[in-house]
Structure 1
Protein backbone atom coordinates (compact mmCIF):
# COMPACT_ATOMS: atom_id res chain seq x y z
CA UNK A 1 0.00 0.00 0.00
CA UNK A 2 1.31 3.41 -0.98
CA UNK A 3 1.25 5.97 1.77
CA UNK A 4 0.92 9.72 1.49
CA UNK A 5 4.49 10.13 2.74
CA UNK A 6 5.81 8.05 -0.15
CA UNK A 7 3.78 10.03 -2.67
CA UNK A 8 4.99 13.32 -1.15
CA UNK A 9 8.60 12.16 -1.30
CA UNK A 10 8.16 11.08 -4.92
CA UNK A 11 6.71 14.47 -5.84
CA UNK A 12 9.53 16.22 -3.95
CA UNK A 13 12.23 14.20 -5.72
CA UNK A 14 10.65 14.84 -9.11
CA UNK A 15 10.46 18.57 -8.37
CA UNK A 16 14.12 18.62 -7.31
CA UNK A 17 15.17 16.73 -10.45
CA UNK A 18 13.20 19.11 -12.64
CA UNK A 19 14.76 22.10 -10.86
CA UNK A 20 18.27 20.68 -11.22
CA UNK A 21 17.66 20.04 -14.91
CA UNK A 22 16.55 23.64 -15.42
CA UNK A 23 19.59 25.00 -13.57
CA UNK A 24 22.02 22.83 -15.54
CA UNK A 25 20.30 23.79 -18.78
CA UNK A 26 20.70 27.49 -17.93
CA UNK A 27 24.33 27.26 -16.76
CA UNK A 28 25.65 25.03 -19.56
CA UNK A 29 26.07 27.82 -22.18
CA UNK A 30 27.92 29.96 -19.63
CA UNK A 31 30.34 27.15 -18.83
CA UNK A 32 30.97 26.45 -22.52
CA UNK A 33 31.56 30.16 -23.17
CA UNK A 34 34.04 30.35 -20.27
CA UNK A 35 35.97 27.29 -21.47
CA UNK A 36 36.15 28.64 -25.03
CA UNK A 37 37.36 32.01 -23.70
CA UNK A 38 40.20 30.41 -21.73
CA UNK A 39 41.15 28.29 -24.76
CA UNK A 40 41.27 31.45 -26.91
CA UNK A 41 43.56 33.04 -24.31
CA UNK A 42 45.98 30.10 -24.44
CA UNK A 43 45.91 30.07 -28.26
CA UNK A 44 46.67 33.81 -28.32
CA UNK A 45 49.64 33.22 -26.03
CA UNK A 46 50.84 30.26 -28.15
CA UNK A 47 50.58 32.24 -31.40
CA UNK A 48 52.70 34.99 -29.88
CA UNK A 49 50.35 37.91 -29.39
CA UNK A 50 52.18 38.82 -26.19
CA UNK A 51 49.36 38.04 -23.77
CA UNK A 52 50.45 37.26 -20.23
CA UNK A 53 48.56 34.37 -18.72
CA UNK A 54 47.97 35.46 -15.15
CA UNK A 55 45.30 34.66 -12.62
CA UNK A 56 43.47 37.90 -13.43
CA UNK A 57 43.55 37.27 -17.19
CA UNK A 58 42.23 33.73 -16.76
CA UNK A 59 39.54 35.01 -14.39
CA UNK A 60 38.45 37.67 -16.89
CA UNK A 61 38.29 35.00 -19.61
CA UNK A 62 36.44 32.56 -17.36
CA UNK A 63 33.84 35.13 -16.35
CA UNK A 64 33.62 36.99 -19.65
CA UNK A 65 34.06 34.05 -22.01
CA UNK A 66 34.88 34.92 -25.61
CA UNK A 67 34.28 38.69 -25.19
CA UNK A 68 36.52 38.62 -22.10
CA UNK A 69 39.27 36.85 -24.04
CA UNK A 70 39.01 39.39 -26.85
CA UNK A 71 39.20 42.22 -24.30
CA UNK A 72 42.34 40.73 -22.74
CA UNK A 73 43.94 40.28 -26.18
CA UNK A 74 43.09 43.84 -27.25
CA UNK A 75 44.41 45.32 -23.98
CA UNK A 76 47.62 43.32 -24.32
CA UNK A 77 48.02 44.32 -27.97
CA UNK A 78 47.63 48.00 -27.09
CA UNK A 79 50.13 47.61 -24.18
CA UNK A 80 47.53 48.70 -21.64
CA UNK A 81 47.26 45.56 -19.50
CA UNK A 82 48.03 41.82 -19.54
CA UNK A 83 51.27 42.43 -21.46
CA UNK A 84 53.81 39.63 -21.30
CA UNK A 85 57.16 40.86 -20.06
CA UNK A 86 60.08 39.88 -22.23
CA UNK A 87 63.61 39.68 -20.87
CA UNK A 88 66.31 41.24 -23.04
CA UNK A 89 68.58 38.73 -24.75
CA UNK A 90 71.68 40.14 -23.06
CA UNK A 91 70.18 39.60 -19.59
CA UNK A 92 69.71 35.89 -20.23
CA UNK A 93 73.40 35.21 -20.93
Structure 2
Protein backbone atom coordinates (compact mmCIF):
# COMPACT_ATOMS: atom_id res chain seq x y z
CA UNK A 1 0.00 0.00 0.00
CA UNK A 2 2.84 2.42 0.81
CA UNK A 3 4.47 1.89 -2.59
CA UNK A 4 1.25 2.86 -4.41
CA UNK A 5 0.86 6.02 -2.32
CA UNK A 6 4.48 7.06 -2.94
CA UNK A 7 4.06 6.37 -6.67
CA UNK A 8 0.90 8.47 -6.75
CA UNK A 9 2.61 11.35 -4.93
CA UNK A 10 5.61 11.21 -7.30
CA UNK A 11 3.26 11.12 -10.32
CA UNK A 12 1.41 14.20 -9.06
CA UNK A 13 4.67 16.07 -8.48
CA UNK A 14 5.93 15.17 -11.97
CA UNK A 15 2.61 16.25 -13.51
CA UNK A 16 2.75 19.63 -11.75
CA UNK A 17 6.36 20.21 -12.82
CA UNK A 18 5.57 19.28 -16.44
CA UNK A 19 2.55 21.59 -16.43
CA UNK A 20 4.66 24.52 -15.21
CA UNK A 21 7.43 23.83 -17.76
CA UNK A 22 5.02 23.52 -20.66
CA UNK A 23 3.24 26.69 -19.56
CA UNK A 24 6.59 28.51 -19.60
CA UNK A 25 7.46 27.11 -23.04
CA UNK A 26 4.05 28.14 -24.36
CA UNK A 27 4.58 31.69 -23.09
CA UNK A 28 8.04 31.85 -24.64
CA UNK A 29 6.78 30.62 -28.01
CA UNK A 30 3.97 33.19 -28.01
CA UNK A 31 6.42 35.90 -26.97
CA UNK A 32 8.83 34.90 -29.76
CA UNK A 33 6.12 34.84 -32.41
CA UNK A 34 4.78 38.26 -31.39
CA UNK A 35 8.28 39.73 -31.44
CA UNK A 36 9.05 38.30 -34.87
CA UNK A 37 5.70 39.45 -36.28
CA UNK A 38 6.43 42.99 -35.08
CA UNK A 39 9.89 42.75 -36.65
CA UNK A 40 8.51 41.54 -39.99
CA UNK A 41 5.84 44.27 -40.05
CA UNK A 42 8.46 46.90 -39.21
CA UNK A 43 10.70 45.60 -42.00
CA UNK A 44 7.84 45.79 -44.50
CA UNK A 45 6.28 49.08 -43.40
CA UNK A 46 9.38 51.07 -42.46
CA UNK A 47 11.64 49.56 -45.12
CA UNK A 48 14.25 48.41 -42.61
CA UNK A 49 16.80 45.84 -43.73
CA UNK A 50 17.04 43.81 -40.57
CA UNK A 51 18.34 40.31 -41.32
CA UNK A 52 16.73 37.43 -39.47
CA UNK A 53 19.82 35.95 -37.87
CA UNK A 54 19.96 33.67 -34.86
CA UNK A 55 20.89 36.67 -32.69
CA UNK A 56 17.77 38.56 -33.76
CA UNK A 57 15.57 35.53 -33.17
CA UNK A 58 17.20 34.98 -29.76
CA UNK A 59 16.60 38.60 -28.73
CA UNK A 60 12.96 38.29 -29.86
CA UNK A 61 12.62 34.97 -28.00
CA UNK A 62 13.92 36.39 -24.75
CA UNK A 63 12.61 39.94 -25.04
CA UNK A 64 9.48 39.39 -27.12
CA UNK A 65 7.82 42.63 -28.13
CA UNK A 66 10.30 44.71 -26.13
CA UNK A 67 13.20 42.86 -27.79
CA UNK A 68 11.76 43.50 -31.25
CA UNK A 69 11.32 47.20 -30.45
CA UNK A 70 14.91 47.30 -29.18
CA UNK A 71 16.18 45.76 -32.42
CA UNK A 72 14.14 48.22 -34.46
CA UNK A 73 15.44 51.17 -32.42
CA UNK A 74 19.05 50.02 -32.71
CA UNK A 75 18.65 49.56 -36.46
CA UNK A 76 16.94 52.89 -36.87
CA UNK A 77 19.72 54.66 -34.95
CA UNK A 78 22.36 52.85 -37.00
CA UNK A 79 23.98 51.21 -33.98
CA UNK A 80 23.39 47.54 -34.79
CA UNK A 81 21.50 45.07 -36.95
TM-score under structure 2 length normalisation: 0.77
Cα RMSD of the aligned pairs, angstroms, is 1.9
Q: How many residue pairs end up in the alignment?
A: 80
- Shift in Å, 1:19: 2.0
**Distance across 2 between alignment mates of 1:58 and 1:18:** 30
Q: Which has the higher helix share?
A: 2
In 2, the alpha carbon distance for the partners of 1:57 and 1:15 equals 36
2:35/2:65 contact within 8 Å kept: yes
Q: Which has the higher contact order (CA 8 A, sep 6+)?
A: 2
- 2:30 counterpart of 1:70: no
User: Any runs of at least 4 consecutive aligned residues in structure 1 with deviations exceeding 6 A, and if so which?
Assistant: none
1:72 deviates by 0.5
Instruction: Structure 1: give runs of 5+ residues left out of the alignment.
Output: 83-93
TM-score (norm 1): 0.70
Which of the two has higher C-alpha Rg? 1
Structure 2: state its 5+ residue gaps: none
Equivalent residue, structure 2, for 1:16: 14
Provide the residue aligned with 2:53 in structure 1.
Answer: 54
